[in-house]
Structure 1
Amino acid sequence: MKKLALFFAFVLVAGLSFAQNSNVRKADRALENGDLQEAKDLINEAAEHEKTINDPKTWYTRGTIYQAILNDEGYSEELVKEAAKSYDKVFSMVEEGDKYFTLSDLKVQELWGGFVNEGSEAYSAQKYEDAVKAFDKALLVIPDDTTATLYAGVASQQLQNNQDALKYYYRLLDLDYHSEDIYGSIISIERYGNEDMEKALEMTRIAKEKFPENDTFEKQEINLLINSGQVDVAKDRINDAIEKDPNNANLYFNLGYLYEQLEQPDKAEEAYLKAIEIDPDYLDANFNYAVYYYNKAADLLAKARDMDLQTYRKKGKALEKEAVGYLEKSKPYFEKALEIAPEELAVIETLQTVYAQLGENEKSEEMRKKAEKLGADGKAKMTDKK
């Protein structure tokens, strides 16, 4: 009798196990037949039973059912979360390469991709609020996704919702996603939006460490130090660095930039020239040095223009002659900048003006045509991207 009882107990357990596996199959069939509520009830029962709770097929099937309900009924945060939870359960059970891992991954990409496409279309139509909502949906599917996080941040910034933008941008840093543009946006929002100079400085210094070749963050730090009343700190930092590395052209360029911000043009000129002596092909140093003389000429020409006729007859010609001298001094450095960066529009347009003011009309016209062509090429590229 005891053996018989054990036999019946075994049959009962096996029957229950078969019933639960049968529930997974029935749920699959109900899904195929479009009976989504029945499919949901059956799969949830199987997902709670000890015999099928650890079967990846159960959770893959559950994910597809919730995804099908989502497609049928429309967006629901709960449905997205349940579908994503089911696929995540599969990933935790099996190794990459397993059949259900691959199938689940395809379904996740389908779900995530649909929301990202929705967000991209809304962004292109300048419906930035809708774009953010769509990218947030994508993040319910893959919370650590940097693509949707980035786009949500950019769309939030377009809405001038700076705090939300910061939330997404800082999240990117937490995800070990670093780009110069992201740091630039964070620094700008902290400085101008939140008026938090200390935080802006902190992020600028982190950006400097991440991107040591980028002069922009060095300049931003100098500017922030000046605007927060820490001019001596800025000077000391640069001068200490120069003492340790006297042949670093970038340091002299930053010193020149510092003096320019402090409206000490003579010291700025000296520092820029030193940077050029160390590195004759330093674009920014050549351009800034040329601009130094160009601005001197522009100031003199403006004074001459503002004179009344009597004063102009006495002093105007002398001012214009002095201005021409400064333009002549600026010209070789603008030309060197053009040689270094032949498609830099700012250099071309400024050089066009210099040539025109010096009466070198053929060269001025050449620069005008070059600028026009670059502008037309830029528009064509933008059209191609669309």
Structure 2
Amino acid sequence: MKKLILSMALIGATTLAFGQKKVVRSAEKNFKSGDLKEALTDIEAATADPETGSDPETYFIKAQIETKMFGSDSSNTKQNYEIGKAALSTFMKSFEMGGSDKSSGIGEDIWEEDITGVPDNLRPYSINTLKNTSFDKAIERYNEGDQEMAYYFFDLAGDIAPEDTTIHYNAGFLANDLEMYEEAKKHFNLLLNVDEYNKLNTYYFMVQILSGAESNPEGAYDMVMAAREDYPEDKILAEYEIQLLLQLNKMDEAMASIQEALKNDPNNAAILLRSGYLKEKSGDMEGALADYKKSVEADPEFYDGNFYTGALMLDRAREVLAELNSLSDEEWEKRSEAMGKEADGYYRDAIPYFTKALEIRPDNTDVMEVLFQVHTRLKNEAEADKYNKKLIELKGPNWMEGGM
């Protein structure tokens, strides 16, 4: 009797196991015929069974079903993206259960290459099919102007292919544009670890994120120095280095970097401007003015160069007038005419630079106010009236009350 009971138990277990395998075969059949909802119901029942649920093949079939569901939905919404994420998770579960070996067993099937454009029935519905489908969805969303979903689909594809530089550059670029800076750094850092990849633009993005959005000049400076090891001749990186040294108040190091940069690029307007700025900070006003003027000679359309040159000339004029006002009455009588002419000379010399600055940025009311003040000082009534009218038009009749 015991043997009979045992035999019947074994028959029952065999029948149950056979039944669950039949469910797996049903899931495969429904997957191939396109009845994906029924296929998913079948395979979920199989994953819940102790025997078929311990077989990595079961999860591989489930991942294939989810991948096909992901691709067949052209809505490309966040909900559709979540199906793709679920498929990736299922693929990875199957891969781990099968020993995490891409070169043999279930791992070989999971990572089978996918060639886009082949008939649907010839696609392997592997993890690479999921990657390619997600990439296509990202492009579709980007072309439709949906940057956020384009990012998420690129991100999903990138989780599968950490070595794919095109995917990660696109994802990082979009994340940065969306002000998703942590996500942008994730993708850009992956790019920085890819050998033989041209990382220059990636370094630019990382420096901008660290120095701007994250207000981390120390981190940005470290990134610039790493970038300069890879690209020692790059002029933009040289400018970043100087800018960050100034921000970190490392004046001596900044000046050394400026002098080195100017040896290689003597007509770089931005570096000449920074050289002038450092000289101005150190009290070398003549040297500063000379460098500011050189920056404009190097690039006449350089707004900052024109503005800084004009501003320093105004400062010199104000210094002359301040000195004049500090004199005794007797000294003032002796020197007022000469010193007044000297100050007016600086004001006149500043006009062309501010005029050019306004030409470059024609709606800049701050520059208009400066030109109004200077022309008023020099009794150029027609010019002063011209700027007054522009300011009334842009800021209203009481623009002077805003503080000059």
Task: Using structure 2 for the length normalisation, give the TM-score.
Answer: 0.54
**Alpha-carbon distance in 2 for matches of 1:63, 1:200:** 39
Give the alignment partner of residue 358 of structure 1, picking from 375, 389, 400: 375
What letter matches 2:240 in structure 1? Answer: F
Give the letter aligned to residue 235 of structure 1: M
TM-superposition CA deviations, 1:188-221 (whole Å, max 9, x none): 478x437458515525747986963588525415
1:220 is matched with which residue? Answer: 243
The 2-side partners of 1:282 and 1:71 are apart by: 45
**Residue aligning to 2:356:** 336
Q: How many Å apart are 1:260 and its aligned residue?
A: 3.0
Matched, 1:37 2:41: yes
Report what 1:139 is aligned to: 155
Instruction: For 1:360-379, list aligned pairs within 5 A.
Output: 360-365=383-388, 367-368=390-391
CA contact (8 A) 2:373 2:384 kept: yes
Q: Residue 242 and residue 81 in structure 1: after superposition, are their counterparts in 2 closer, same or farther (change >3 A)? A: closer
Structure 2 unaligned runs (5+)? 1-21, 95-107, 160-166, 377-382, 396-404
Q: 2:134 aligns with which of 108, 133, 150?
A: 108
Query: 1:170 corresponds to which residue?
Result: 189
1-structure distance, mates of 2:84, 2:304: 51
Deviation at 1:268, TM superposition (A): 0.6
- After TM superposition, give the deviation of residue 291 of structure 1 in Å: 1.9
Q: Offset of 1:323 from its aligned partner? A: 5.1
Pick the structure with greater CA Rg. 2
| Structure 1 residues 262 and 222, CA gap change in structure 2 (3 angstroms) | farther
C-alpha deviations, 1:157-205, integer Å up to 9, x for none? 5xxxxx7775455345457453745422224478x43745851552574
Q: Offset at 1:330? A: 0.8
Give the drift of 1:357.
Answer: 3.9
SS for the counterpart of 2:235 is coil
Q: CA deviation at 1:289?
A: 1.0
How many residues of Structure 1 are paired with residues of Structure 2 in the alignment? 318
In structure 2, what is the equivalent of residue 4 of structure 1? none
Asked whether the equivalents of residues 149 and 168 of structure 1 are also in contact (C-alpha less than 8 Å), the reply is: yes
Cα deviation digits, residues 361-384 of structure 1 (max 9, x gap): 333146537867xxxxxxxxxxxx
Structure 1 unaligned regions, length at least 5:
1-17, 124-130, 158-162, 373-386
1:13 alignment partner in structure 2: none
- Answering whether residue 208 of structure 2 is matched by residue 184 of structure 1, we say yes
Q: 1:71, 1:269 → 2: CA distance? A: 57
> Counterparts of 2:298 and 2:271 in 1: how far apart (Å)?
11
- Checking the alignment, whether the CA contact within 8 Å between 2:151 and 2:171 is kept in structure 1 is yes
Q: What is the 5 A alignment of 1:1-386? A: 23-28=27-32, 31-32=35-36, 34=38, 36-40=40-44, 60-65=64-69, 79-82=86-89, 92-100=112-120, 104=129, 107-109=133-135, 139-143=155-159, 144-152=167-175, 155-157=179-181, 166-167=185-186, 169-171=188-190, 173-174=192-193, 176=199, 178=202, 180-188=204-212, 192-193=215-216, 195-196=218-219, 199=222, 201-202=224-225, 205=228, 212=235, 217=240, 219-223=242-246, 227-228=249-250, 231=252, 233-242=253-262, 251-277=271-297, 280=300, 282-297=302-317, 324-339=344-359, 341=360, 343=361, 345-346=363-364, 349-359=366-376, 360-365=383-388, 367-368=390-391
CA distance in structure 1 between the aligned counterparts of 2:139 and 2:173, rounded to whole angstroms: 15
CA contact (8 A) 2:67 2:87 kept: no
Question: In the TM superposition, what is the alpha-carbon distance from 1:334 to its structure 2 partner?
Answer: 1.8
Q: Is the 1:256–1:267 Cα contact (8 Å) retained in structure 2?
A: yes
Deviation string 1:101-133 (CA, Å, 9 cap, x unpaired) is 59946742587689999xx79x8xxxxxxx9xx
Q: Give the conservation status (yes or no) of the 8 Å contact 1:115–1:138.
A: no
Instruction: Return the letter of the residue paired with 1:170.
Output: N
Alpha-carbon offset, residue 271 of structure 1:
1.8
The whole-number CA distance in structure 2 between the counterparts of 1:260 and 1:141 is: 52
Report the CA distance between 1:269 and its aligned residue: 0.5
Secondary structure of 1:93's counterpart equals: coil
Identity of aligned residues (%): 18
Q: CA RMSD in A?
A: 5.6
Decide whether the 8 Å contact of 2:188 with 2:202 is kept in 1.
Answer: no
Give the counterpart letter for 1:178 in structure 2.
Answer: T
Write the distance in 2 (CA, Å) between the matches of 1:214 and 1:331.
33
3-state SS in 2 of match to 1:142: helix
Is the CA contact (8 Å cut-off) linking 1:351 and 1:364 kept in structure 2?
Answer: yes
The answer to whether the 8 A contact 2:371-2:384 is kept is no
User: Alpha-carbon deviations, 1:235-275, whole Å to 9, x = none?
Assistant: 34433554566566565434213313434332211222234
